[in-house]
Amino acid sequence: MVNFDDTATAFITKSNAQLRKAYYMFKMVGNTTLVSLGKRATSLSMALRLPIKGLVKKTVYDQFVGGETMQECEKIIDLLDRYNVKSLLDYSIEGKETEEDFEHTKNCLLDTIRFGGKHKAVPFAVFKVTGMARFALLEKVSNGELLSEKESKEWLKAKERVKEICQAAHDHKLAVLVDAEESWIQPAIDELAEEMIHHYNRERVIVFNTLQMYRVDRLEYLRKLVNLANKENFYLGVKLVRGAYMEKERDRAAKMGYPSPIQPDKAASDRDYDQGVEYVVENLEKGRLVAGSHNEESCRKLANLMVEKGLAKDDHRIWFSQLYGMSDHLSFNLAKAGYNVVKYLPFGPVKETLPYLIRRAEENSSASGQTSRELMLIQKEMRRRGID
């Protein structure tokens, strides 16, 4: 049984000053009003080019991002690895609109893969398709709309970029995860991911697709993918998460008058997430799982399920994953118990990572129970160390 209350292990990498800073950071992001004001103020300040980079970097950026470059992340990668926690490098760029930006993002991702290929502590890389294709184009493809000649060429170019990344991952013996995004562009992303999975996952898993289980249709989609893998003889890599766009999804559905794609409540999301995890574990002959979760009960269920199935704790087919800066009580205690754990470690310039940072702040402010748990554990460790 993994002891998630072991705060000495959970915060073993943090100095007293870092622990105190984390406490105040979670206090801040746990305040919905403060997060909302901060989001507007940050966006306005960046638009007006006000000198707030230093402030952002010393607060939320420092908590949730590894650094501006891969080289800046190396100290963190090595520190995590000392406690058997691996790193999943994420060049945290999304929502770009020009071919020049897409090529730059692709080249940075290729650099990330080459970097990861040389570091045993970096078994994965990850990317967002919106870093390499226009959002409007992905939406049009997802809707099955007829593309113009120019758009068809643009879509072909986007596919070529994704294939180049997957080929590099194959060549450097690294796995690469295709991140999930908004539901109205996800069909195009799924199409790309499935094409890459069919092509590259013949001998082992190179490409993982990400499924957001807070969507009502994802459990059925997972079953379809597993059936395809068995039928067409390829390995299926999936990362299961609950999801990160809930309010945005519900607001759009309400405004446009279509049924919300999001589960009716948290219990339904938890049910589908846990059932999805169990389904992949039942199909490990062809399936590979990255279980992305900050939910303590879900992590405990998977750990216990592996024991029940007689699987080794370090079975290479199953990984637990949490975001850098969050849920260290899960990551470090699971790793101490012998399970495979990888931290999702974003990096990139401060301005470019703002969409990611804003999502993290909003996620923490909406997940009051999770933030309270973080604060309680930090306070417990501060008392254990005798920190005021």
One-character DSSP codes across 276-311: HHHHHHHTTTTEEEEEE---HHHHHHHHHHHHHTT-
* 233 occurs within a structural domain: yes
Cβ neighbours of residue 181 under 8 Å, at least 6 residues apart? 94, 128, 129, 130, 189, 245
Predicted pLDDT at 168: 98
pLDDT recorded at residue 63: 85
Number of structural domains (the chain) is 1
Task: Tell me whether residue 296 is in a domain.
Answer: yes
Whether residue 35 is contained in a domain is answered as: no
pLDDT score of 35: 47
Q: Is residue 8 part of a domain?
A: no
d(CA 186, CA 131): 14
CATH of the domain at 90: 3.20.20.220
Q: Which amino acid is at 175?
A: A
Residue 77 in any domain: the answer is yes
Residue span of the structural domain in which 196 resides: 67-357
Domain contains 160: yes
pLDDT on residue 349? 83
Instruction: For residue 205, tell me if it sits in a domain.
Output: yes
Q: Say what the pTM is.
A: 0.92
Asked whether residue 376 is domain-assigned, the answer is no
Question: Which residues of the chain, if any, have pLDDT below 50?
Answer: 33-35, 37-38, 41, 44-45, 48, 50, 365, 368
